Amino acid sequence: MNHKISIEDLESSSSKEIDFHFEDKIEGINCITPITSDLKIKSLGEFIEITGNVKGIVKLECDLCLKEYEYKLDFQIDEMFAKKRLLEDYGQEFELKDGQFVTDLNGEDEIDIYDLLYQSVILNLPNKKVCGINCNGDKFLKEENLSDPRLDVFKNIKIEDK
């Protein structure tokens, strides 16, 4: 399936807008369900704005107990792209206003929605992956069969209060 939006098609549409439905698994992300998104792609003169909602269920590994669990994605995206090269000195991205960045298309004639959604999903995964509020990861990690012999040297350390 083609996951790319042609800038020429966008510009030639009467409303300068294209609605785009994405529903697919994304390589490199452990998807339980396909990632789905209904996007609105708008031409704003020199810029292109892509907005929409992204949903899906992915499998993550808990940082505490190391068990896999399901994580529900449901977030908004609002991305800006510059059609022409921006100021040469600023490289790939520069800040348009507080918290918003513009990606330079470097003269490309299409936008890869698959790549945009891959990056958006990665950025919206939690920093600390925990399977649930009642995760007893510390109990799991203290089990004897998980002890690391390299850490045995620390077992007999005594700390004295002064």
Domain boundaries, the chain: 4-154
Which tens digits make up the pLDDT trace of 43-59?
988 889 999 999 999 99
Helix, strand, coil proportions of the chain in percent (round to 5)? 20, 40, 40
Which tens digits make up the pLDDT trace of 15-39?
999 999 999 999 999 999 999 999 9
CA distances from residue 23 to 56, 82, 111 in whole angstroms, order as listed? 9, 26, 17
pTM above 0.85, yes or no: no
Q: Please give the structure tokens belonging to residue 123.
A: 């950025």
